[in-house]
Amino acid sequence: MCQTVSSIDVGFSRESFAAGTHICMVFRDEEERRRIVSKFIESGILSHERVYYFADTAQTSDVSSWLAELGVDILEAQASAAFTIDEAVATYCPDGRFVPERMLEEIKTAYSSSREAGFPNSRVTGEMSWALRDIPGVERLMEYESGVNTVLLTHPITAMCQYDANRFSGDIVFKALQVHPYMVMNGQLVKNPYYIAKE
């Protein structure tokens, strides 16, 4: 699949980035997380992209509430299915198991369906804390994250993965950084110096 990759605004950074950027957001402060994520979502909505949010630590209705509190108008986008909030576990592990290959295919399907529906681009952000649960297959999380980089070359959904440093071990956080080409640092999106490109 040959796809012309456009430049997008992620909402919280001064620069523009290519659609299909894979971002690692490591955070400790919930208020800061919400601020960055809300800007990421709002920018996607304002750019007429299809935007997906995968919630884990809170109910989907809670996500809608704090987005509204931060001034993000999601009602019209939700009504037209341009913005959806789904439970992370149900998305990543629909049958109670995490199968990376299946989820990578879901990314391709989401990208294709968004394009067919007329969206110029699409983006997703999700809380990765679901992977801390005792779910078969979660030990393959970093294999999946690495695979995302390959999928995004042909199906450029912009993806921002949220890792809570208060929940994940330092070892897992470091491994997560090694498989994301970009990271959030001091509220800006930058190239990730810890990233190790797959040969």
Task: Please state, in angstroms and rounded to a whole number, the distance separating the CA atoms of residues 123 and 87.
Answer: 16
Query: Tens digits of per-residue pLDDT, 129-171?
Result: 999 999 999 999 999 999 999 999 999 999 999 999 999 999 9
Query: Tens digits of per-residue pLDDT, 186-196?
Result: 999 999 999 99
Q: Hey, what are 164's tokens? A: 């809570």
Q: pLDDT > 70: what percent of the chain?
A: 97
Fold designation for 7-191: Rossmann fold (3.40.50)
Who's near 98: CB < 8 A, 6+ residues apart?
92, 131, 135, 136, 137, 138, 140, 141, 144
Domain spans in the chain, listed from the N-terminal domain onward? 7-191
Half-sphere exposure of residue 194, counting CA atoms within 13 Å on the CB side? 15
Task: Please state, in angstroms and rounded to a whole number, the distance separating the CA atoms of residues 143 and 193.
Answer: 19
Q: Is the pTM of this model over 0.85?
A: yes
Query: Tens digits of per-residue pLDDT, 107-121?
Result: 999 999 999 999 999
* Apex 54 CA angle, 77 and 89, nearest 5: 140
Task: Please state, in angstroms and rounded to a whole number, the distance separating the CA atoms of residues 59 and 144.
Answer: 25
- Residue ranges of alpha helices (H) inside the chain are 30-46, 60-69, 75-79, 88-92, 100-116, 141-154, 170-178
